Structure 1
């Protein structure tokens, strides 16, 4: 009986010691970061991996992700200080700068380095040729947005004037474009995944070309913040970049099916096989940025597309709106 009592006392004292040590151990400071993404998309897979795998948590960051459902809304949230960081098209930072601002929006890392849309045809053809679009009804994207500018750039590359050689529809809201095509509007449509693949599976349309492959590398979707925020919290941005970089590296080093299992919670209405198929397609055309570094060539290519779409009032130097210090440091670690 005395042995049992002694054992109980020993265990009790040990538990008190463990509690005391735990209580006295200083907790790692956790900093909250408010992040706004332009939309919810498999196109942003490395970001969801970083969240789901705890890469931000490892850096002491609590990232609160909100979906803006529109580039203008994401930028408005950033400008009004409702969020700290925005994931949106790099062109939006140029629009803000050319309109005049004392606190410019700085691009500090890119998540995607190609366009993420595909050309979907209503009718299936044995062999697709861009000439087939001439005279057709083309359901495009919002004027001034990256999808539409890339779309026009690719059409012109193939000798098609988007405003004269076909009937271009741009009046439909981004979220309603797929429904419009499914309802019978247009001969061709420019769509993101997974909608493009789902339409193909359901026989609504057929993927005939990739705008990402046709347009080449461009800082399509980037992480950006106010210049003042970067100056006030450079270490915070560095931690954020490190988390995203780990997410990107993990995506590069794992198979689509494995990646799909990790990001599935962010896409409740899409089955795992479709998610994996889309990820594989984006990996194959190198849409996910391989190192997050927004290059000078990419920046110049972006402005060329904007200029050809008549959306660039003045060119903005690379150094003015791009800061690569954080990603340079992280990549050298």
Structure 2
């Protein structure tokens, strides 16, 4: 009897050890506290609970991220939804489908070198260190500036020839009077006395599908169960980040930002949470899709309007939210 039980236990253990998690190759457009719920899902074991191992790569820029996805260098991409519009407007054989929203506002902050009280008119005639043409930070930035009657191409000395990954370094080196920066760079620069956060583009621009999980249509068709489990892990983390205190969040994020103090991580995460930049669920609404295309059209970057029902699939998001 004891021998039989021992054999059963050993056999069960071997079966458990042989059961491997599904690996998802995930490409993120940059490394930012703006994407905190994704890192939380990794660090707090939410992906592990769903039988998923994440192979995370940082591709530093929307164009590079989409190239990685299209060339099968990744299975899923976390990037601005505008990249899916650029690709799908060319009618590829394998469309790019947006299936879960991670952030729902712009994630950049306007930094000024001087601490004097800020007015948007102060930007006129200034040197503005902008973002990549056609990318979400630049398009949202232009949209917000125009709401304040500032034409970025006429009223500013706009610099756009610096690679995305080097913008923060360029500002730190003295280029530009104003710059758009993500966290944690914005808070770090304040701490270092390099500038001051004077406005939030996220608060100014409204709900936008700023960063979204997307994949090729063929991948989604072949991995229905996996995508549901992936989306469930993200939803768990979205709920978690609105329930926990900033210090707990910082502890979870710190392995992804080893050169950043936990105080800065906590401050940056709280700043994003307070302005509800983190989506509270993975549902990608038509309102957000339409707002995105309006902003792209305003910037002169919209190739053509694309149908929401064709390129956004909330199947898995609806499933996990309604469980």
Q: Which runs of 5+ in 1 are unaligned?
A: 1-9
After TM superposition, give the deviation of residue 11 of structure 1 in Å: 9.5
Match of 1:211 among 170, 180, 201: 201
User: What is the DSSP-based 3-state SS (H/G/I as helix, E as strand, rest coil) of the residue aligned with 1:238?
Assistant: helix
After TM superposition, give the deviation of residue 82 of structure 1 in Å: 1.7
Find the counterpart in structure 2 of residue 7 from structure 1: none
User: What is the DSSP-based 3-state SS (H/G/I as helix, E as strand, rest coil) of the residue aligned with 1:111?
Assistant: strand
1:70 aligns with 2:61: yes
Distance 2:195 2:205 in 1: 22
User: What is the DSSP-based 3-state SS (H/G/I as helix, E as strand, rest coil) of the residue aligned with 2:111?
Assistant: strand
Going from structure 1 to structure 2, the CA distance change for 1:19 and 1:165 (only over 3 Å counts) comes to same
TM-score (structure 2 length as normaliser): 0.96
Distance 1:215 1:306 in 2: 13
| Map 1:208-287 → 2, pairs under 5 A | 208-287=198-277
What is the aligned length?
323
Find the counterpart in structure 1 of residue 71 from structure 2: 80
RMSD: 1.8
CA offset digits 1:84-126 (Å, max 9, x no partner): 100001000000011231111000001000011000001111x
Match of 2:137 among 147, 152, 156: 147
CA offset digits 1:166-203 (Å, max 9, x no partner): 11111111122122222222111111111111111111
| Map 1:1-333 → 2, pairs under 5 A | 18-23=9-14, 28-125=19-116, 127-333=117-323
Distance 2:181 2:47 in 1: 31
User: What is the DSSP-based 3-state SS (H/G/I as helix, E as strand, rest coil) of the residue aligned with 1:222?
Assistant: strand
Distance 1:243 1:15 in 2: 35
After TM superposition, give the deviation of residue 27 of structure 1 in Å: 5.4
Find the counterpart in structure 2 of residue 6 from structure 1: none
User: What is the DSSP-based 3-state SS (H/G/I as helix, E as strand, rest coil) of the residue aligned with 1:131?
Assistant: helix
Which is greater in Rg?
A: 1
CA offset digits 1:220-241 (Å, max 9, x no partner): 0000000111111111111110
TM-score (structure 1 length as normaliser): 0.93
After TM superposition, give the deviation of residue 28 of structure 1 in Å: 4.3
Q: Which runs of 5+ in 2 are unaligned?
A: none
